[in-house]
Amino acid sequence: MNRSAHYVGDNTFVVEGTATVPPGPGQVRIDVAYTGICGTDLHIAHGAMDQRVRVPAVIGHEMSGRIAEMGPGVEGHRVGDPVTVMPLDWCGGCAACRAGHTHICHRLTFIGIDSPGAMQRSWTVPARILVPLPEDLPLTHAALIEPTAVAVHDVRRSRLTAGEHAVVIGAGPVGLLIGTVARATGAEVTVLELDPRRRELATELGLHTVDPATVDVARHVHETTGGAGAAVVFEVSGSAAGVRTATDLLAARGRLVVVAIHPTPREVDLHRVFWRELEVIGVRVYERADYTEAVRLVHAGQVPAAQLITRIVPLAEVSEAFRALATGGEVKILVDCGGAT
């Protein structure tokens, strides 16, 4: 018997026994070890995505586990292999897919949002979305591969290179990961964050942090870069102030990377964009190459997974985990789904 956490609406989850789904052709069944809770999951729990998520829903897409069973036609994997998933299901026929941009397919299904996810003991998925893991990588750490792949994609799209200066606006989980991935490229990184707890963690991770409420950020970046400005600014805060600040900090031909989801239109200083020939770059999810690099960075310890995981809770306490994350005092909470070790 499987056990699953079902979002039933109004910030409520019900954990109950469900039937295990055997794998069909081209599918595998995974014993899920850990599932991370992300900002999108919080939006779902708060009802902000009820028009998209079919209730009752098993959500979750940041995960790790081991293959428990394989369906007909699955090759290149073995029962017992440690894996995570790249939770994207694209159509293959739209203009974006035909151009090779399957991750931004016009009809993309995000597994764990648009279809059943990983917050369960046993999960059956297409084998083609599997991402193999090193045997010696702890499955707790491996649950951070998906958000790390987000950061890798964002940094890769920014074209950030060693010696350049990058500013990260917002030190939530994704902002911290972008900061560590940017540092791994050899760039100099400044993180702007209002919350003292998040600033403290960013400092503990070895990132240079600034409180924008007490420091003239534009002057600070100007002085830090010898008057040039930042080569790249990652806007991760999702705030109107973050967008306004971003263009002020960029060097001539600097790149503004819009990471956060802005549900409402924001004011952007287009005169600054014109005057300094700035670029505005959108980023969304990831590609297979980003996962490969994310696995390498987490396995090598360049992404400090142990420091980012602030709590692990059993599946039965998933509601409490969502409430704790919503208070803002946690970075990454993992749900122990109990399916693998």
Q: Which residues are catalytic?
A: 40, 43
Structure tokens at 263: 């549900």
Cα 311 to the chain's mean position, in Å?
A: 17
Distances (CA, A) of 315 to 45, 68, 127, 184, 304: 16, 19, 25, 34, 24
Instruction: Output the DSSP codes for 176-214.
Output: HHHHHHHHHTT-EEEEE-S-HHHHHHHHHTT-EEE-TTT
Structure tokens at 221: 């970046």
DSSP 283: -
Give CA–CA dist 19/340, Å, rounded.
18
Q: Identify the H or E element spanning 257.
A: strand 250-258
Burial environment of residue 85 by CB neighbours within 10 A (0 to 12, 13 to 18, 19 or more): buried
Q: Do the Cβ atoms of 28 and 119 come closer than 8 Å?
A: no
Could you give the count of Cα atoms lying within 13 Å of 203 in the half-sphere of its Cβ?
A: 10
Q: Identify the H or E element spanning 6.
A: strand 2-9
Give CA–CA dist 230/267, Å, rounded.
20
Structure tokens at 302: 């360049």
**β-sheet bridge partners, residue 120:** 4
